[in-house]
Amino acid sequence: MRSFNLLFQVLAAGLLLMSVVANPAARKILQRAACTESYAPCTCDLTANGVEVTCVDVTVAEIVDVFFRTRTLDIYSVTLTATSATGSIDLPADLLKDKRAKNIYLNCPSTASPDWRPISFQSYFTGYPSPKLGLTVDPASFEFTRFDTTRFEIHDCDLVGQLNMDFLVDFSVLNTLHIENSENVKAIETLPALPQLKELAVVSCTGLTNVLFPDLTPARLERLYLNGNALDDATANGILVSIGSSSSSSSLVELSLASNSMTKVPRIASFSKLSWYDVSSNAIPFISQSALIFGSPVNFLGLNNVALTAIEGGAFLGDYTFAQVNLENNDLTAFREDVFKSMLQLMAAQPAGGQVIVTGNPFDCGCGLAWLIRDNPTLIPNVKNGVCGGFFRFEDLNPESYANC
Q: Give the helix/strand (H/E) hosting 152.
A: strand 151-155
Tell me which of 32-36, 59-63, 229-233, 350-354 is least confident: 32-36
Question: Which pLDDT score is estimated for 399?
Answer: 95
Question: What local confidence, expressed as pLDDT, does residue 31 receive?
Answer: 61
Q: Is 114 exposed, middle or buried (0-12, 13-18, 19+ CB in 10 A)?
A: exposed
* CA nearest to 330, candidates 372, 292, 358, 290: 358
pLDDT for 286-312, tens place per residue?
A: 999 999 999 999 999 999 999 999 999
CA 257 to chain centre: 10
When pLDDT is averaged across residues 356-376 and rounded to a whole number, the result is 97
- Percent pLDDT > 90 in the chain is 84
**Structure confidence by residue, pLDDT tens digits, 87-138:** 899 999 999 999 999 999 999 998 644 433 333 343 333 444 458 999 999 9
Mean pLDDT across 359-378: 97
Write down the pTM of the prediction: 0.87
Domain range list for the chain:
32-207, 284-405
- Residue 330 in this model has a pLDDT that exceeds 60: yes
Which of 100, 36, 105, 109 is CA-nearest to residue 67?
Answer: 100
Residue 315: pLDDT band (50, 70, 90) is: very high
**3: confidence class by pLDDT, cuts 50, 70, 90:** very low
Least-confidence region, from 65-79, 152-166, 210-224, 292-306 = 210-224
* Cα gap 227→123, rounded to integer Å: 10
The yes-or-no verdict on residue 181 having pLDDT over 60 is yes
Tell me what the pLDDT averaged over the chain comes to.
Answer: 90
Q: What are phi and psi of 236, to 5 degrees?
A: -60, -45
What is the C-alpha separation between 325 and 212, in angstroms, rounded? Answer: 32
Instruction: Compute the average pLDDT of residues 221-248.
Output: 96
Asked whether the predicted pLDDT for residue 355 surpasses 90, the reply is: yes
pLDDT, tens only, 26-70 = 444 446 788 999 999 999 999 999 999 999 999 999 999 999 999
What does the DSSP 8-state code read for residue 367?
G
